[in-house]
Structure 1
C-alpha cells in the first residue's frame, strides 16, 4: 500500500483459567430474522476472548468453543441455555447468574453504544452482512483496539 501508515499488530495468547459465556439477541429487518452475538470473556479481567455472530443454534456455540480452545480454559460460567449443557463438560461448567455479571454488564454497554442491539429500537440492519460488520467492527475497535 503506497503512502499508508500500517500499524503493527501483535497477538499473544495466554492461558485463561475461567471464562464467562453468553449470547445476545438482535435482529435483521424484522424480529423474525434473529441474529445472535455469542461471546466469551475472561472471568478474571473481563476482556473479550472471542465472539461469533450467528443464529441461536448449537453450531454457533461450537464455533465459539473452537475459537476458545487455544486459551486452555478449565472452567466455564454460563446461564442455563441448552447448547452449553450439551457441549461443555459437566465438571468444567458452572450454571448461574452470580458468575456471569461481567458479561451481562458488557451486554448493557453494547446495547447502549450499538443501537442495533437495543431491545426496542428504530435502528436496525437491512442485511446480515451489514449487521455483522457494524457489530464486529465495534467489538474489534472497542475491545481489541484494532484500527478500522
Structure 2
C-alpha cells in the first residue's frame, strides 16, 4: 500500500514536502516508509562546459560544496568526478629540458594533514631558481624518508648537477650530496622563492589552509590535489 502512495504522491496525504534538491526541484518524503523522491526525476547530463568550469574552480581556494553550488551539480557527482580527476593526475614533474651545467634549487617542507591534524603529511618541494618551476614533489613524513622521496622525485639532471639550498632540517644532510648542499636561514634570502610558493600553494588549495573545513579525508585525493595545482603552475610558466 505504501508503494502505491509513493507512486501516486500527487494525490496522497501520506507525503510531505521535504526541502529541495541541488537543482532547486521540490523533494518529497513518504510519512510511512521514509522514501524520498522528486516529481519527474531526470538524470542530468553534465556538459563539457560545466566540467571545464569545475576544472578551473578546483584550482582556487573553494571547497567542493562551494564548487557544487556554483556549477549547479550535486556534491555526490562532484566528489566522484574529483576522485577520478585526482587519480589520473601524473605523479611526476613536467618541466623544460635542462642541459648539464650549473643549476640551483631551493627546497622546503610544508605541513599539512589528512583526516585529522594528528595525521601529518609533509609536502616536500624543490624549485628551480632560474625558471621558478617546481622540479620535485613528495608527500610523506618529515624524516629522512621524506628527504629521500624529494631527492628521488628530482629529474636526473638536477640530481647530477644542482646546488641546493634548504633550511637546517637534518634530513637534508643525510640525503643530499654534501658538496652541493647548503643549509641556510631565512635571513639569507636563499630560500625566498620556495617560501613564496608555499604561500601561493596555501592560498590556492583550500585543503592546505591551516584552519579549514575543506581538509582532505583521503590521502590519495590530498596528493592528487597538490599535483593537480603544481602541473597547472608549471604549465602557466610556459605561457
Aligned residue runs from structure 1 range 2-81, under 5 A: 12-15=96-99, 17-68=103-154, 70-71=156-157, 72-81=160-169
* CA distance in structure 2 between the aligned counterparts of 1:115 and 1:67, rounded to whole angstroms: 24
Going by fraction, where is strand more abundant, 1 or 2? 1
Other-structure match for 1:118:
209
Name the SS of the counterpart of 1:139 in structure 2: helix
TM-score normalised by length of structure 1: 0.82
Q: Given the two structures, how large is their TM-score scaled by the length of structure 2?
A: 0.53
C-alpha distance in 2, partners of 1:119/1:56? 17
**In 2, Cα distance between the equivalents of 1:47 and 1:11?**
7
Q: Which one has a bigger Cα radius of gyration? A: 2
The match for 2:195 is 104
Query: Within 1, Cα distance between the matches of 2:132 and 2:95?
Result: 18
Task: Say what the alpha-carbon RMSD is for the aligned residues.
Answer: 1.9
Describe the superposition over 1:69-122 as per-residue Cα deviations: whole angstroms up to 9, x where unpaired: 512333110001111122223321111122000000000100000121112222
Higher RCO (CA 8 Å, separation ≥ 6 residues): 1
Q: Unaligned regions of 5+ residues in structure 2, if any?
A: 1-93
Aligned length, in residue pairs: 136
* CA distance in structure 2 between the aligned counterparts of 1:142 and 1:69, rounded to whole angstroms: 17
User: In the TM superposition, what whole-angstrom CA distance separates every residue of 1:12-59 from its partner, at most 9, and x where no partner exists?
Assistant: 520461110111110011110011111111122221112112222212
My pick for the range that moved more, 55-64 or 109-118, is 55-64
Deviation for aligned residue 1:11: 6.5
Gapped regions of structure 1 (runs ≥ 5): 1-9
1:21/1:78 contact within 8 Å kept: yes
